[in-house]
Structure 1
Amino acid sequence: MSDTGKYHLPAGSSADGPYDLLVTPESAGWGYSGLRILTLEPGEAHVLSTRDCEFLVLPLTGSCTVTTDGKAFELAGRTGVFASATDFAYLPRESEALISSATGGRFALPSARTERSSLSARYGSKAKVPVELRGAGACSRQVNNYCLPGTFDAEQLLVCEVLTPGGNWSSYPPHKHDQARPGQESELEEIYYFQVDGGEQAFGYQRVYGTEDRPIDVLAEVRSGDTVLIPHGWHGPSIAAPGYDLYYLNVMAGPGQDRAWLICDDPAHGWVRTTWDSQDVDARLPFGGDEER
């Protein structure tokens, strides 16, 4: 039986109060990962209380000011997710922040439940976000590595963006990270939040399937504002339909105290990686390459 209806959240179906999307560990039925999408009209502001979670404030469109603990972080943001990477702000647990926007915008608030609070609120510069071109040929994609081990410190939270040109496959070969196996695989819950370029008719697909002992079966047609929850299992491909570029924000967190991102390919498809050596990276990448970083 398909689990698509359980783990695919169409745009607007999980809106709550000021949020276009509200995913908490409780609503997802797991322990750590969360995501909120906040839209502010020009001149509006929102108070975010982090409680037992750490957060990023990551502009999708527009700019904002994040004020917390006597500090003010000016986030220049961007015109859209395909235009460039963005600057961002980090908020520790048990803090309160005012997010205000003079011109309006849409902001992702990825989060992770954590018992630790060793880090302070701080600014993440756009210029320091590693932009990686991964794969080759029809598996070419761009990854903006905001908050991963080695790119930006956090307690539990892992955040990146993947941009896939129309007609390409990303999150491929399918992989998983649902077991703690030191040096091989880390246990992480994951959220995929999608935007698709090309208007209301634009779409893509997301596949998630399980192992023998932990079944899951998701095949979702995704559109802008949709979300897919991945508690476990193999996930991929993420398919960008021809003519429509696909974006997704990845939010990951789990119980591991070493904050590792270790994945295991589905052995039935892992061989695909060996074909990339003889192919060029898609010439359409990187997105927004003409915009100053």
Structure 2
Amino acid sequence: MSGRAIKVDALESATGLVELYRRGNYAFKWALLSNETAYSLNAGKEAIIACLKSPCSIRGNTWRVSLSPKDLLYLTGPASLVLEGRGSLIVIGEAPSRKSRVRLVKKFSELSRFTSGLEGYRRDIYVAIGEADPSDRLMAGFTEGWPGEWTSFPPHKHDDKLEIYVYYGLNGGYGLQVVEDYDGVDVFKVRDYDAVIILRGYHPNVATPNSRICYLWILCQVEGRKSMKVEFQPGFERIPLGTTHLSR
């Protein structure tokens, strides 16, 4: 491994929760549900639980929420949960938190959408958990690129954060995920429901013509205060951003 990123191929059969990556109290996990899977979140932690592919439900001791694909739940621990679904892909990001008794459902159908970028790098952005939401260190949303165009462009990095992309909507095409730093470059060929965990470096991506590169993103703020602040790759700073959720 380069230390810049890790690619994980899409799950092909049902699994319990699988830990994809951990750095201390920060972690990414996923599961492809066939029935029920238990999930525990300790006190002093927060989690984003996102649903992809098929509807799912999440059950606590005294409550239950139903999620459609691209809906998500934010909550703080302690919590003992049951994740239920058939063919549902569940993606989880965990981080430390000083909050307690917070539970927030974000429905994709209710999220605001804006188009970012100009021709060649246009994408629709849906921020589900952002800077203004009550999470301590987690943020999440969805990016849906236009056919054959780049996203996460101009290339940017945020080495104070960990991030996972889980791709969808390529519909038989594929994307190329670039991750580059001072020490080299990785290029991953990605298809629907593959994941790439970005540990450091600039990370633009592009879809094949007539395909759209779309992805769930979950950010963990490892250092400093939670923010959407990024650093653009030298040589690309003057490319117009258009409307954006990022800050320099």
TM over 0.5: yes
In the alignment, is the contact (CA less than 8 A) between 1:50 and 1:91 conserved in 2? no
Matching residue within 169, 172, 177 for 2:153: 172
Q: Which residue of 2 aligns with 1:92?
A: 76
Matching residue within 103, 114, 132 for 1:132: 114
2:63 counterpart of 1:71: yes
**Amino acid paired to 2:32:** T
Paired residues in the alignment total 242
In the alignment, is the contact (CA less than 8 A) between 2:11 and 2:32 conserved in 1? no
Which residues in structure 2 correspond to 1:263-274 (within 5 Å)?
263-273=230-240
Change (3 A) 1:40 1:16: closer
Q: Which residue of 2 aligns with 1:7?
A: 6
In the alignment, is the contact (CA less than 8 A) between 1:4 and 1:220 conserved in 2? no
Matching residue within 232, 238, 252 for 2:200: 232
* Aligned counterparts of 1:112 and 1:210: Cα–Cα separation in 2: 25
Q: Which residue of 2 aligns with 1:50?
A: 41
In the alignment, is the contact (CA less than 8 A) between 1:166 and 1:240 conserved in 2? yes
Higher helix share: 1
Q: What's the TM-score once normalised by structure 2's chain length?
A: 0.84
List alignment gaps of at least 5 residues for structure 1. 79-85, 179-186, 278-293
**Amino acid paired to 1:56:** I
Higher strand share: 2
| TM superposition shift of 1:6 | 6.4
Q: Which residue of 2 aligns with 1:123?
A: 105
2:178 counterpart of 1:207: yes
SS in 2 for 1:234: coil
Q: Which residue of 1 aligns with 2:227?
A: 260
Q: Which residue of 2 aligns with 1:24?
A: 21
Change (3 A) 1:72 1:93: same
Change (3 A) 1:109 1:8: closer
Q: Which residue of 2 aligns with 1:149?
A: 131
| TM superposition shift of 1:163 | 1.0
Q: CA RMSD in A?
A: 2.8
| TM superposition shift of 1:48 | 0.9
Identity %: 19
* Aligned counterparts of 2:45 and 2:20: Cα–Cα separation in 1: 13
Q: What's the TM-score once normalised by structure 1's chain length?
A: 0.73
**Amino acid paired to 1:210:** D
SS in 1 for 2:240: helix
2:170 counterpart of 1:197: yes
| TM superposition shift of 1:166 | 2.2
Q: Which residue of 2 aligns with 1:60?
A: 52
List alignment gaps of at least 5 residues for structure 2. 244-248
Change (3 A) 1:32 1:196: farther
